Amino acid sequence: MDNKRNNESRERIFNAIKAAAPTVSMDLDIIQKEAQDILAESEFARPKLLAEDAPEALVNRINAGLVIGTSCEIVASLEDLPHSVNQFLNKYSLPPELKVQNVPKLQSLNWESLSIDVDLQKDNTVGMCWAEYGVAETGSFVVHSSPEMPILLNFLPLYLIAVIPKSKILHYMDDYALIASEIANRGETPRNMCLISGVSGTTDIEGVLVQGAHGPEISHIIIVEDQ
Amino acid sequence: MSEKNSNADTESVQSNTIECLNISEKRVGFFVTCLVNTMRPSVGFASITLLEQAGCNVEVPELQSCCGQPAFNSGDDEGTRQVAYQTIEQFENFDYVVLPSGSCAGMIKKNFVEVFKDDSEWLQRAQNLADKTYELLSFLVDVCNFEPENVEFEGSYTYHDSCSGYRSLGVYEQPRKMLSKVKGLDHKPLNGHSECCGFGGTFCVKYSDISNEIVAEKTENVLATEADYLLGGDMGCLMNIAGKLNREGHTEIEALHTAEVLAGLATEIVGAKNARK
Amino acid sequence: MHANKPENFYQNVTEALAQPDLKMIIRRTTDKAETKRAEAIANFPEFEKARQQGQKVKDHTIKYMDHYLAEFEKNAAAQGTIVHWASTGEEASKIVLDICRQHEAKKVTRSKSMLGEEIGLSHALDNSGIERVETDLAEHIIQLAGDPPSHIVWPAMHRSREDVIKLFREFHKDPTYSEEITDLVRSARRDLRTKFLTSDIGISGSNFLLADSGSSCTVTNEGNAELTITPPKVHIVTAGIEKLVPSMAHAVPLLRLLTRSATGGEITQYITFHNGPKRPNDADGPEECHIVLVDNGRTKMLADGMEEMLRCIRCGACMNHCVVYKHIGGHAYGSVYPGPMGSVLTPHLDSLKVANKQTHACTLNGRCEEVCPVNIPLPKLLRALRAESWQKKYEPLTNRYVVKAYAQLAKRPRMFQFVSSCGVVFMKLFSRQGWIKSMPFTGGWTRNRDLIEPESKTFMQQYKASKKAKSSGGR
């Protein structure tokens, strides 16, 4: 990096801002108070959910067809996952193989004849990921990058199954932001935090919606109750 | 109703209805506007008739000219001030100032203060004038609580909401409410009723060809209503749409200012027009 | 397609209006966006409150811009991101190129960024011999076609399916021979997939920069940002300094506004916060992360009293609802940002001297302000730019003389009334059967429409006469 140039530009930008607003207070408390006050307005400035209970609201949202290319189901426990996956594969006439995220919770399940390790670089694959959170407002699941979570797992497959623990379904995006700031306070912010609300879509050719632009065409959310 | 002004407008409506009790004691200064003065004087007389029917004490200051929009919209702030000085002087002592145009009323109500930012005395006077300036149709309803009585006009109409009236002043319900009292008149809703007609003051001559494309779309929508009359509250828009309709050869639909209909002048105007065809 | 220049606006407009299909092409996108937005707002009764909150978030950040920039710089560095500062677009492009060269990059993938276009990064990369792969489908199409973008949300809206069929058959390795749009999208999917995975550097823009964490946030429907950023070793973000918000919680209200205003959807499918390079042992992700913070006219907007424009979140609603944009399209504006927001931005990014005509190509009807998710008073700003260009004498002389003559007249009511009455007499000379088809000095009007015939006397003449008659009758 050209440090001299960089510092000069930095200086120029800050000086220009100060020159444009010379009387602005730099009292941190005032700034933080103002910033907090604005957030307090969210309560009155966000959409109504489709149910009071967050998991129910999320399910209603998906079932109402408001989350592009996404379906969902609720299962009692993790042990039910292989069965649900089989049903999903059958529904779309897919071969008995999928890439299951490399987390013990999922890997240790009894997958029977299913092959759970496929090369994601190929197209037409099925992926299965463990979501950290769900968000009812937007019908989203949230993934965090980690040694066990390759971000590409959520983007390369044509079909994606996301598993969300029921207890981790939040009402609003604001609730997730709060959690993100707690994670940050612990110094544990992951490289990527992805809120995924539907599938990879485009309307770039004559305004027609096509799913599966680069990533998933179909997505299925499985909510696990006992987690 | 425009999305963002709705709250503010209901408030101002409420505060104004209290004043309407003693409207007859109020002096109303009538600002004719250039287009009514030169192109359509009947709108001016219709306006005075309506204001008097509503119980107002109407005066027309003879030393009036233009609201200043051509200068303001061209970016000539000094020119705007020059024009605004005399308007403020002529009209600031009335209780109300009323104009038969949303765009000219909006100019005095919203824009005069923009050009007097650095002049506290005139800023105050401009604000004072702005506070008592009204577009005719909203004034009649919101301030005077006026309802036309025994007006008849046979036919169907569609309504074009002028952008400045609709968006900047929140004029929407008022003309429709009054027109619903006119016997024999049916409303045919206009698709894109609040979409700009492409007039835009100097815009329509500066960018005549863009304006032409915009107004052609408007005339298409107007014709699709199959209404007999196109009504509106701004002569600029009406002249633009009517002028385009005529150029396209559509003489079956007549454009009228809402005031002309409400004041019972429409039959006569249409008759005179037909006689000249 | 050649790139239009902003200074040739009149000519650009004439060319645009002469294109027979242009209106249909624009409408098939903007009409849908307009309808869907209206539905989304109708389903969100709290929209007005959200809009006020969104405006406050932006205004607050703009007010304390230097504080938040310093915060962002500190926190981004703490995440391991290398922060660069660029005063101009040229400088920003050079910073990106230097990083590419330093890593001996042969291929870079880019996810759509209007700022990238603004700073001329596409050209800079092309000129440097580095293979540039646009990964947003629309950007991919216009890259193959060699077009500039025509809209900030749908940059390829001017290209028809037939155009795309031709382009993909010519350029894709394994093209589809189907004409179905789904198959065309699949063809691009196949073509871009290998490029995502073999890219040396991924370049993205940012929808929001979070000051309290140093994160950048990307928002896409296609998921191409994550695919652009994750596989390569290096990630470069280029972002305007106005993208700052205090925290993720402050980005939330803006996210609610952004999608609804842009496409009429409720939320964009992929919202990702990027926090520096990969952590040790992370399964994937870039090893090095750079952010280039770009001024390029933004502090000038602050200084010029145009700070309201810095609220803009680039949703494109103003152009979708603009009667002028809908007839002339994005290319006519001759700049990266078209429509109302572009007409305010371009004079600051380029210069008012070259882009002042666009500020007049507006009827000041207020629709753009009405639909703006952060309440930017676009007509007021456009008018202010007209005032500046009036002061700097950029207007054509004839316009100036006409307006000046008008003002001189209008400030003298007696003279004004007299000239008005003469005007009526003059106009009557040219009218036939109630209409004027053409007459001197009204060419702009009668070129496309007729002028109604005035009455014989002005209102004021008639009014004075009737008053006189009344008072003499009363005597």
Per-residue pLDDT 10s for chain C (475 aa) are 678 999 999 999 999 999 989 999 999 999 999 999 999 999 999 999 999 999 999 999 999 999 999 999 999 999 999 999 999 999 999 999 999 999 999 999 999 999 999 999 999 999 999 999 999 999 999 999 999 999 999 999 999 999 999 999 999 999 999 999 999 999 999 999 999 999 999 999 999 999 999 999 999 999 999 999 999 999 999 999 999 999 999 999 999 999 999 999 999 999 999 999 999 999 999 999 999 999 999 999 999 999 999 999 999 999 999 999 999 999 999 999 999 999 999 999 999 999 999 999 999 999 999 999 999 999 999 999 999 999 999 988 989 999 999 999 999 999 999 999 999 999 999 999 999 999 998 989 999 999 999 999 999 999 999 999 988 865 4
Nearest alpha carbon to residue C381 among C308, C298, C315: C308
Counting every residue written for chain B, the total comes to 277
Question: Is B212 in Cβ contact with C404 (below 8 Å)?
Answer: no
Q: What is the pLDDT of residue B171?
A: 97
Q: Flag whether residue C299 sits within 8 Å of chain A, measured between CB atoms.
A: yes
The answer to whether C268 touches C219, Cβ cutoff 8 Å, is yes
Nearest to C464 by CA among B32, B50, B28, B96: B32
**Taking CB atoms and an 8 Å cut-off, how many pairs form between chains A and C?**
271
Q: Where are the beta strands (DSSP E) in C40-124?
A: 81-86, 107-110
Contact C53 A2 (CB under 8 A): no
DSSP assigned state of B227: -
Rounded Cα gap, residues C349 and B113, in angstroms: 29
CB < 8 Å from C in window 192-251 of B: 195-196, 198-215, 239-240, 242-244, 246-247
- Residues on chain C touching B210 (C-beta within 8 angstroms): 13, 17, 324, 327-328, 361
Strands C435-436, C431-432: parallel, antiparallel or unpaired by DSSP? antiparallel
Residue C280: Cβ within 10 Å count: 5
Rg (CA), chain C: 27
Instruction: State which H helix or E strand residue C260 sits in.
Output: helix C248-262
Q: Where does residue A80 rank: exposed (0-12), middle (13-18), buried (19+ CB within 10 A)?
A: middle
**How large is the greatest C-alpha to C-alpha distance in chain B, in angstroms?**
54
Whether A92 and chain C come into contact, CB under 8 Å, resolves to no
Cβ-Cβ contacts under 8 Å for B48 (sequence gap 6 or more):
B30, B58, B60
Q: What subunits touch chain B, counting only 3 or more CB pairs under 8 A?
A: C
pLDDT tens per residue across all 227 residues of chain A? 789 999 999 999 999 999 997 667 779 999 999 999 999 999 999 999 999 999 999 999 999 999 999 999 999 999 999 999 999 999 999 999 999 999 999 999 999 989 998 999 888 899 999 999 999 999 999 999 999 999 999 999 999 999 999 999 999 999 999 999 999 999 999 999 999 999 999 999 988 999 999 999 999 999 999 87
C279 and chain A in contact, CB less than 8 A? yes
Chain position carrying tokens 């966000």: A46
Question: Domains of chain C, with CATH numbers?
Answer: 44-296 (3.40.50.10420), 414-474 (no CATH)
CA–CA separation, A97 and A160 (whole Å): 12
Burial bucket for residue A152 (CB in 10 Å: 0-12, 13-18, 19+): buried
| φ, ψ at C292 (rounded to 5°) | -105, 115
Measured between beta carbons, which residues in chain B are less than 8 angstroms from residue C328?
A: 210
pLDDT (tens digit per residue) in C98-108: 999 999 999 99
**Alpha carbon of C396 to those of C15, C269, C404: distances in Å?**
21, 48, 12
- How many other C-beta atoms can be found within 10 angstroms of the C-beta atom of residue B246? 22
Question: Chain A residues with CB inside 8 Å of C283's CB?
Answer: 102, 145-151
C23 exposure class (CB count in 10 Å sphere: 0-12, 13-18, 19+):
middle
Which residues, numbered 323 to 342 in chain C, qualify as contacts with chain B under a Cβ-Cβ cut-off of 8 Å? Answer: 323-324, 327-328
Half-sphere exposure of B130 (CA within 13 A, CB side): 19
User: A5: which residues sit within 8 A by CB, 6+ positions away?
Assistant: C91
What span, in angstroms and rounded, lies between the C-alpha atoms of C411 and C405?
10
Tokens of C239: 């972002």
As given in the structure block, the two tokens for residue B274 are 């037909």
Q: What does the pLDDT read at residue B4? A: 42
Compute, in degrees rounded to 10, the torsion defined by CA atoms B227, B255, C447, C322: -70
Helix (H) or strand (E) holding B268: helix B266-276
Sorted by sequence, the CB contacts under 8 Å of residue B66 that are 6+ apart come out as B33, B34, B83, C406, C410, C416
For residue C144, what are its two tokens?
């193959």
> Rounded to 5 degrees, what are φ and ψ at A109?
-70, 160
Partner-chain contact A6 C85, CB within 8 Å: yes
Whole-angstrom CA distances from C158 to A33, B90, C6, C24, C47 are: 47, 53, 19, 10, 31
Candidates B169, B158, B160, B156; CA nearest to B99 is: B169
> Any CB–CB contact under 8 A between C307 and chain B?
no
Q: Give the pLDDT means over successive 10-residue stretches in chain B (277 positions).
A: 41 43 81 98 98 96 96 97 97 98 98 97 98 98 96 97 96 97 97 96 95 98 98 98 97 96 96 82
Distance CA A107, CA A163 (A): 13
Residues from chain A that touch C274, judged by Cβ atoms under 8 A, are 191-192
Task: State which residue of chain A sits closest to C73, comparing Cα positions.
Answer: A10
Structure tokens given for C219: 């928002």
Structure-token match 């499918």, residue found: C269
Please tell me which residue of chain A has the smallest CA distance to C300: A16
CA–CA distance, C429 with C454 (Å, rounded to integer): 11
Distance from CA of C408 to the nearest CA of A (A): 36
Q: Which of residues 364-403 of C touch B (CB under 8 A)?
A: 364-367, 369-371, 375, 380, 383, 385-391, 395, 399, 403
Cα end-to-end distance, chain B, whole Å: 38
Distance CA C151, CA C158 (A): 9
Q: What is the DSSP letter of C319?
A: H
Question: Which chain B residues touch C447 with a CB distance below 8 Å?
Answer: 208-209, 212
Instruction: Please report the domains of chain A, with CATH numbers, ordered by start residue.
Output: 3-43 (no CATH), 49-224 (3.40.50.10420)
Cβ atoms of A130 and A101 within 8 Å: the answer is yes
Residues paired with B156 in a beta bridge: B186
Assign A125 to helix, strand or coil. coil
Q: CA-based angle A29:A35:A37, to the nearest 5? A: 100
Domains and CATH numbers, chain B: 6-143 (3.40.50), 152-276 (3.40.50.11810)
pLDDT digits 0-9 by tens, C141-183: 999 999 999 999 999 999 999 999 999 999 999 999 999 999 9
Q: Which of residues 399-438 of C touch B (CB under 8 A)?
A: 399, 403-404, 406-414, 416-417, 420, 423-424, 433-435
| Portion 149-188 of B in contact with C at CB < 8 A | 163-164, 167-168
Nearest residue of chain C to residue A178 (CA atoms): C249
How far apart, in whole angstroms, are the C-alpha atoms of residue C142 and residue C121? 15
Q: Which residues of C touch B208 (CB under 8 A)?
A: 444-445, 447-448
Strand A140-144 to A133-135 pairing: antiparallel
